[in-house]
Structure 1
Amino acid sequence: MTPRPRLLTAACLLALPLQGTAASFDCLLEPSQTVEIRSAVEGLIHRIHVQRGDDVKAGQAVVELDTALERSALAVARFRATAEGRLVASKNRMDYAQRKTKRSDELHGGNFLSAQARDEAETERKLAEAEHKEALENQELARLELKRSMDLLNQKTLRSPFNGVVVERMLNPGDLAEAGNGRKPILKLARMDPLHVEVVLPLATFGKLKQGTSARVKTEAGQAYDAKVKVVDRVFDAASGTYGVQLELPNPNGKIPAGLRCQVDFPGIANLATAQRP
């Protein structure tokens, strides 16, 4: 008696290649990374350097917030960090106290100075040294305050985290940039090199692919490119009997647009998939 064939879901029927055809599976080209540029601090947007569709480089300044207050604070901090009047005065007092102590010791040794006067000179020396140390600590603190002021100023300049393209511009100069993930972003950027190729495969092909496996990707525009498997999901979709695979497609000049539908061919997968077909 011929065994009764098992039922397949519609997703599996679409994913499995037909007998005798190449192993072509539907896929989608996507950016390898997308990010929404938000401000870490609240501030008025002073300038946006890019428009939708512009290319950006890693580290490029894309947004500047108003920095008048931060620049004033930075000028004050820089003045304090470079001021040396108190430090020089404390150094002179310490040198004088050390010389005075030395003379007092010599006079006391010759019985020309009382022990009390010598102790007073010694105490004066210790106080002068402590004052000089405090002046040094205050100068170091001023340098740290300067660095803090510079960091606060740098927070008002938002930079691109990678080479990519501007997908969307949500705010404009004069708008208020609010801090936090729940607030409206200023820009949306996409990383175009490399691209990710997302494809859903039937369970019959599981175990036949691994990281580094080469494949041929054909876009709906007719171009073909070489890609390599980067991720093979190990959590299946029980409802459709499928799992996901992600390939990496080099796109050094950004010429291949994201969002295109495509077909991906895995060498040797066709026969394996059809052989396990019920």
Structure 2
Amino acid sequence: MMKYLTWMSIAVSAITNSQMVLAQDKPNLLPLAPLSCLLEPSFDVELSSEVQGVIKNIDVQRGDRVKKGQTVMVLESKLEAAAVNTVKARLEFATRKVERNTDLFKKNLISDIEQDEMMTEVRLAAFQLKEARVRLGLRETKSPIEGVVIQRYKDPGEFVDETPFLRIATLNPMHAEIVLPAELYGTIKKGDTFNVTALGSDQIHQGTVKVIDPIIDAASNTFAIALVLDNEDGVLSAGLRCEVRASSLAKN
């Protein structure tokens, strides 16, 4: 019985040591050939207008850089501007009316109801002015990101609705998508850094893991990760193929 227990202990120890060795060797399970990846913009958006209308002007062209919050398109807004001026005049008149009757109210020459009606007119005019200004603001479209204009679909004078009129992409930072074998799942963590080389270039760029797919593709037995690469110098272009070699996949 004692010999049996000793043999079992040796077997369990051998299996445990074997599992530890396999776990340590997981990064080496990659093929020696370089893994391919694809460079993509970190953000890629198509802008459309919140309201319908005729384009008054678009101040950007293809290839232009835009800042976040920059106005990129303005619709014709004569009616909306006129509505703002009308309601603003109404508010100013209602305010003057209250001011003129303040002394009369203090002397009880006008009733509480009359005073309340005048104050209500002021509040309603203020709300209407706010609404009119919002409607006027909707005639302008601002960029939600900082980036480069990739495509312009509309020109001044054309009608615009919910369909896109402009496409903007953020090229700094850049993203690189890599497909890895399932054996490596769990060995790569967010924040790990890998070396990436764009095809046709010998320059090595460092990428940091930002996204790890939570699901392994059963058909291919692989999973994908996304790297973030600094592209302040603008040498990387979206759509380029890139390579990550097995030797560079060891965690730094």
Give the TM-score taking structure 2 as reference length.
0.81
Tell me the residue number matched to 1:78.
88
Equivalent position to 2:204, from 216, 224, 232: 224
Shift in Å, 1:41: 0.5
Number of residue equivalences: 221
Q: In the superposition, relative to structure 1, how do residues 63 and 268 fare at CA in structure 2: closer, same or farther (>3 Å)?
A: closer
Q: Which runs of 4+ in 1 moved over 6 A?
A: none
Equivalent position to 2:238, from 236, 252, 258: 258
Tell me the residue number matched to 1:96.
107
CA distances 1:35-94 after superposition (whole Å, capped 9, x unpaired): 111011110011111111111111111111101111100111111222233212432331
The residue identity in structure 2 corresponding to 1:169 is: R
Shift in Å, 1:208: 1.2
- 8 Å Cα contact 1:81/1:143 also seen in 2: yes
- Correspondence list, 1:146-165, <5 A: 146-165=129-148
Q: In the superposition, relative to structure 1, how do residues 195 and 131 fare at CA in structure 2: closer, same or farther (>3 Å)?
A: same
1:188 aligns to 2:199 (yes or no): no
- Percent identity of paired positions between Structure 1 and Structure 2: 36
1:205 aligns to 2:184 (yes or no): yes
Give the TM-score taking structure 1 as reference length.
0.74
SS at match of 1:192: strand
- 8 Å Cα contact 2:194/2:248 also seen in 1: no
- 8 Å Cα contact 1:93/1:128 also seen in 2: no
Shift in Å, 1:269: 4.2
Tell me the residue number matched to 1:120.
none
- Correspondence list, 1:20-35, <5 A: 24-35=34-45
Q: Which runs of 5+ in 2 are unaligned?
A: 1-28
1:130 aligns to 2:89 (yes or no): no
SS at match of 1:215: strand
Equivalent position to 1:45, from 55, 69, 73: 55
1:240 aligns to 2:200 (yes or no): no
Tell me the residue number matched to 2:20.
none
Higher radius of gyration, 1 or 2: 1
Q: In the superposition, relative to structure 1, how do residues 36 and 268 fare at CA in structure 2: closer, same or farther (>3 Å)?
A: closer
Q: In the superposition, relative to structure 1, how do residues 35 and 96 fare at CA in structure 2: closer, same or farther (>3 Å)?
A: same
- 8 Å Cα contact 2:30/2:246 also seen in 1: no
SS at match of 2:105: helix
Q: In the superposition, relative to structure 1, how do residues 49 and 268 fare at CA in structure 2: closer, same or farther (>3 Å)?
A: closer
CA distances 1:256-277 after superposition (whole Å, capped 9, x unpaired): 221111112466747xxxxxxx
CA distances 1:115-138 after superposition (whole Å, capped 9, x unpaired): xxxxxxxxxx7x622322332222
- 8 Å Cα contact 2:172/2:234 also seen in 1: yes
1:169 aligns to 2:149 (yes or no): no
